[in-house]
């Protein structure tokens, strides 16, 4: 070892001996000159733990224990480890450099102290150069490592940013696709500048704005497109949302730029920070809700009409019940004259039929709505349907003193292929309306004429008439004319709706007209004409004058009043009654009935079960089974046929139908 080597070795021993003092000086310098410095005991310990490796390598270099290359490599390794730790702790590059530079200065100061007390200055310069070279390598290694860490972090951040941008792009695309599928327009609006961006073509389609003319700002949008009646409220809602930073929601009408049509739009928006972070931007969607608003209004109107209908229904059902109950009370008087009894009989008959008519109308509405109306078509003379309709409405017209003129019907031979019962029902509804809405002593005219390939029937009155704006909605379900002094009852509002549906099922049309309030109304019915039938079928009519052979009749109904009252009507026959299925079977075994009127809803078993067991009895094959029920749908009739019933009669049964069945046996 030469002289310089021996001097460097003694310097290394000197540094090792003063290692604690050197560390304290370094820490003090770090605290004084660095803005980020270790203040806690744990932080100081962490900093000191970074020193031994570098210090040991420096002393090894000075002592000559390792070669220069090996020491440099070890110094660079220790410096990188130190840089990694300081990076993890949040140090900046200049702070790391200053930390190593201060350590270098402390080492130089300690070496100068050694030579100040040494007998000779030999080797001082060489020792300082070795220390300078050592720290140069260490600082370069540490800084390189630090920059590598920083570059890696930047690379990772950029990669994360790219992933986030890709996800954002996919999210935006999904949002755009969803918005397009939902028919939503997307816009952005900057309140400070009133600048707007329309993100998709749907915005232009909704507003009718030409794409080449570009987007409209909020101010232009409100001034040029929004309906004048809605513009002030929309402006107020927009300003309130901006002032409160709350989500924006508004529904308003616009006039489309391209065609001037009025549409209803709904806007939703939310304030989000702008790109520069200083100004807020309203991001929102626009949707055409015209159809939804129309449907909601129609539903509200239907609800109102339904409420009126229910109130009217209650009124209409109670009205005939009152005279029926009064008549029942008067019948209990023993001093009633034959004339009074006939009058009471007429009261009960008229109002009972009226109740049955109301129920039939309600059932017709249900069947038409469900598409379950089945027409029993035949070729018939219009005169027959007209005569039947007049017969049904004549009592009410006579009661109010109406004069009814009929022209063009009798002897005209106008034939139609259709359901005569349903056409009669339509004509009866039209006559019933005329009677209702014509003052006492009024004039009603019914005329029929051949018009090309159709037969046209008009029902005209001089009653209260209609306002022109009411006519388009007249045939809607539950729609009623405005009640007046001349109209004693408004009805259920379903007769004309049923009539329109039935006429259209026959391939015809029905319309209404009026010159205005107080000037009468006219309803026109048109049906396709048909060729005359080859053979005219005569209706089977059982005359009350023709005697009917007495028969054994069993009436099965859990409603005792219904059973006993029908038994009284059939007092010319031998009649028994039963209130349950089991009782009916017992009576049948002893009584051997020829005709059984059987209710389907009995308390112990169904009418179908009773019918099956009756058929199984010895004399069952000779029994005529009649289903007497309140169920009258086509599927109900088919079910009774399948169960073996011979007839299906809907309550309240007409006496003529009961007599016809008994006559057939």
pLDDT tens-digit profile of 124-142?
A: 888 888 888 877 777 777 6
For strands 185-190 and 195-198, give the pairing: antiparallel
Give the model's pLDDT for residue 541: 40
* Angle made by CA atoms 119, 120, 122, in degrees to the nearest 5: 155
Share of the chain above pLDDT 90, in %: 14
CB atoms under 10 Å from CB of 365, counted, come to 18
State whether residue 520 is helix, strand or coil: coil
pLDDT tens-digit profile of 89-99?
A: 556 666 767 77
Give the model's pLDDT for residue 460: 93
Long-range contacts of 290-298 (CB under 8 A, 24+ apart): 290/263, 290/264, 293/251, 293/264
* Residue 111, pLDDT above cutoff 50: yes
- The verdict on whether omega for the bond into residue 409 sits within 30 degrees of 0, i.e. cis, is no
Average pLDDT of the segment spanning 61-77: 58
Checking phi first, is residue 616 left (phi over 0); if not, alpha (psi -120 to 50) or beta? alpha
CB atoms under 10 Å from CB of 415, counted, come to 17
**Alpha carbons 521 and 488: distance in angstroms, whole number:** 17
Give the model's pLDDT for residue 141: 72
Identify which has the larger pLDDT, 309 or 389: 389
**Alpha carbons 356 and 363: distance in angstroms, whole number:** 11
Give the model's pLDDT for residue 455: 92
* Angle made by CA atoms 348, 353, 355, in degrees to the nearest 5: 95
pLDDT band of 524, cuts 50, 70, 90: very high
| Paired tokens of 606 | 């169904």
Long-range contacts of 570-573 (CB under 8 A, 24+ apart): 570/658, 570/662, 572/548, 573/662
* Residue 444, pLDDT above cutoff 90: yes
**Which residues are paired to 513 by β-bridges?**
522
**Alpha carbons 347 and 323: distance in angstroms, whole number:** 7
Mean pLDDT, all residues of the chain: 78
Average pLDDT of the segment spanning 31-38: 63
Give the model's pLDDT for residue 6: 78
Name every residue whose Cβ is closer than 8 Å to that of residue 5 and which is 6 or more positions away in sequence.
Answer: 64
User: If residue 346 lies in a helix (H) or strand (E), which one and from where to where?
Assistant: helix 338-370
Q: Please answer whether residues 499 and 511 qualify as being in contact, where contact means their C-beta atoms are separated by less than 8 angstroms.
A: no
Give the model's pLDDT for residue 546: 47
Provide the edge-to-edge strand list for the sheet that holds 443-451.
403-407, 443-451, 454-461, 521-528, 509-514
Give the model's pLDDT for residue 335: 75
pTM, 2 dp? 0.44
* Residue 1, pLDDT above cutoff 60: no
The sign of the CA dihedral 42, 46, 49, 51 is negative
Give the model's pLDDT for residue 184: 83
pLDDT tens-digit profile of 352-377?
A: 776 776 777 676 666 666 666 677 78
What's the maximum distance between 2 C-alpha atoms anywhere in the chain? 165
pLDDT tens-digit profile of 582-641?
A: 999 999 988 889 999 999 888 888 889 999 888 887 555 678 999 988 777 767 888 898
Domains contained in the chain, CATH given:
3-155 (1.10.490.10), 182-288 (3.30.450.20), 299-366 (1.10.287.130), 374-528 (3.30.565.10), 552-664 (3.40.50.2300)
* Residue 275, pLDDT above cutoff 90: no
pLDDT tens-digit profile of 469-522?
A: 777 777 776 555 544 433 444 455 667 877 888 898 889 999 999 888 888 899
**Which residues are paired to 628 by β-bridges?**
649
Q: Where are the alpha helices (DSSP H) in 541-625?
A: 560-569, 581-591, 607-616
* Residue 548, pLDDT above cutoff 70: no
Average pLDDT of the segment spanning 307-330: 71
Give the model's pLDDT for residue 90: 58
* Residue 540, pLDDT above cutoff 50: no
pLDDT tens-digit profile of 420-431?
A: 888 888 898 899
Pick from 19-33, 304-318, 401-415, 506-520: least confident: 304-318
């Amino acid at each position: 070892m030469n002289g310089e080597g021996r001097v460097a070795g003694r310097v290394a021993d000197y540094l090792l001996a003063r290692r604690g003092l050197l560390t304290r000086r370094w820490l003090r310098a770090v605290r004084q000159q660095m803005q980020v410095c270790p203040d806690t005991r744990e932080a100081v310990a962490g900093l000191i733990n970074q020193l031994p490796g570098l210090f040991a390598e420096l002393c090894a270099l000075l002592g000559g224990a390792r070669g220069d290359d090996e020491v440099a490599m070890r110094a660079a390794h220790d410096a990188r480890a130190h840089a990694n730790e300081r990076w993890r702790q949040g140090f900046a590059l200049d702070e790391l450099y200053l930390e190593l530079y201060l350590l270098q200065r402390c080492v130089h100061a300690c070496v100068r102290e050694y030579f100040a007390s040494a007998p000779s200055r030999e080797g001082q310069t060489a020792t300082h150069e070795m220390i300078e070279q050592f720290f140069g390598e260490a600082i370069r290694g540490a800084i390189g490592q630090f920059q590598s860490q920083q570059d890696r972090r930047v690379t990772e951040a950029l990669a994360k940013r790219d992933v986030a941008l890709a996800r954002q792009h996919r999210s935006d695309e999904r949002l755009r696709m969803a918005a397009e599928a939902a028919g939503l327009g997307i816009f952005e609006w900057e309140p400070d500048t009133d600048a707007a961006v329309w993100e998709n073509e749907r915005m232009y389609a909704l507003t009718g704005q030409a794409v080449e003319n570009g987007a409209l700002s909020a101010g232009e949008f409100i001034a040029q497109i929004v309906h004048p009646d809605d513009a002030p409220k929309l402006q107020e809602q927009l300003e309130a949302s901006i002032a409160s930073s709350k989500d924006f929601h508004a529904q308003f009408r616009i006039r489309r730029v391209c065609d001037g049509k009025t549409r209803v739009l709904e806007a939703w928006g939310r304030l989000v920070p702008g790109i520069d972070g200083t100004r807020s931007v309203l991001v929102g969607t626009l949707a055409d809700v015209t159809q939804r608003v129309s449907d909601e209004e129609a539903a509200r109107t239907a609800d109102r009409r339904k409420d009126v209908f229910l109130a009217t229904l209650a009124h209409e059902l109670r009205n005939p019940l009152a005279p029926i109950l009064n008549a029942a009370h008067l019948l209990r008087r023993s001093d009633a004259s034959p004339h009074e009894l006939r009058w009471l009989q007429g009261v009960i008959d008229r109002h009972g039929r009226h109740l049955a008519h109301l129920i039939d109308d309600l059932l017709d509405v249900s069947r038409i709505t469900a598409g379950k109306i089945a027409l029993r078509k035949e070729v018939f003379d219009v005169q027959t349907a007209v005569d039947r309709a007049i017969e049904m409405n004549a009592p009410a017209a006579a009661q109010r003193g109406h004069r009814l003129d009929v022209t063009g019907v009798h002897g005209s031979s106008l034939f139609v292929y259709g359901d005569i019962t349903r056409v009669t029902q339509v004509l009866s509804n039209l006559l019933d309306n005329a009677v209702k809405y014509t003052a006492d002593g009024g004039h009603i005219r019914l005329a029929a004429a051949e018009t090309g390939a159709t037969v046209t029937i008009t029902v005209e009155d001089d009653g209260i008439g209609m306002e022109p704006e009411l006519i388009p909605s007249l045939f809607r379900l539950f729609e009623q004319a405005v009640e007046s002094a001349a109209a004693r009852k408004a009805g259920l509002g379903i007769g004309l709706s049923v009539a329109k549906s039935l006429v259209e099922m026959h391939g015809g049309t029905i319309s209404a007209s009026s010159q205005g309030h107080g000037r009468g109304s006219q309803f026109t019915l048109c049906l396709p004409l048909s060729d005359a039938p080859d053979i005219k079928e005569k209706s089977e009519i059982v005359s009350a004058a023709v005697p009917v052979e007495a028969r054994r009749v069993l009436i099965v109904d859990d409603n005792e009043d219904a059973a006993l009252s029908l038994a009284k009507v059939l007092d010319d026959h031998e009649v028994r009654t039963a209130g349950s299925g089991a009782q009916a079977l017992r009576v049948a075994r002893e009584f051997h009935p020829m005709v059984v009127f059987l209710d389907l809803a009995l308390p112990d078993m169904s009418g179908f079960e009773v019918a099956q067991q009756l058929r199984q009895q010895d004399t069952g094959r000779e029994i005529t089974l009649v289903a007497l029920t309140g169920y009258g749908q086509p599927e109900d009739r088919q079910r009774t046929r399948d169960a073996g019933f011979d007839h299906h009669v809907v309550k309240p049964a007409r006496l003529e139908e009961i007599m016809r069945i008994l006559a057939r046996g």
